[in-house]
Amino acid sequence: MNQDKTADEKPGGGYDPGGVRRQFAILGRNLAWLDNAATTQRPEGVLRAMDEFYRKHNANPRRSVHQLGTEATAAFEGARARVAEFIGAESPQEVVFTAGTTAAINLVTDGLARWDIGPGDEVWVSAVEHHSNWVPWQQAARRMGATLKVIPLTPEGRLNLDEFETGLQAHRTKWVAVAWVSNVLGVANDVQAVCRAAHAAGAQVLVDAAQAVAHLPVNVQALDCDFLAFSGHKMYGPMGSGVLWGKRALLEQVEPTVFGGEMIARVDEATSTWAEVPYRFEGGTPHVAGAVGLATAIDWLSEFPPEAHVYVADLARRAEEELAALPGVRVWGPRAERLSLVSFSVEGVHPHDVAQVLDSRGVEIRAGHLCAQPLMRRLGVESVARASFFPGNTVDDVRRLVEGVRAAQELFT
**Cβ–Cβ under 8 Å, residues 256 and 106:** no
Q: At what angle do helices 135-144 and 101-108 cross, to 10 degrees?
A: 20
**CA dist 179 → 15, 85, 129, 237 (Å):** 29, 22, 6, 20
Integer-rounded Cα Rg, in Å, for the chain is: 22
Q: How far is CA 314 from CA 72, 320, 351, 373, in A?
A: 41, 10, 24, 28
- Decide: 333 and 155 in contact? Cβ < 8 Å: no
Whether 225 sits among the annotated catalytic residues: the reply is no
Q: Which residues of 190-225 are buried (b: 16+ CB within 10 A; e: fewer)?
A: ebeebbebbeebebbbbbbbbbbbbbeebebeebbb
Amino acid at 337: E
CB atoms closer than 10 angstroms to residue 184? 24
> Of these residues, 363, 371, 398, 408, which one is catalytic?
371
Catalytic residues: 371
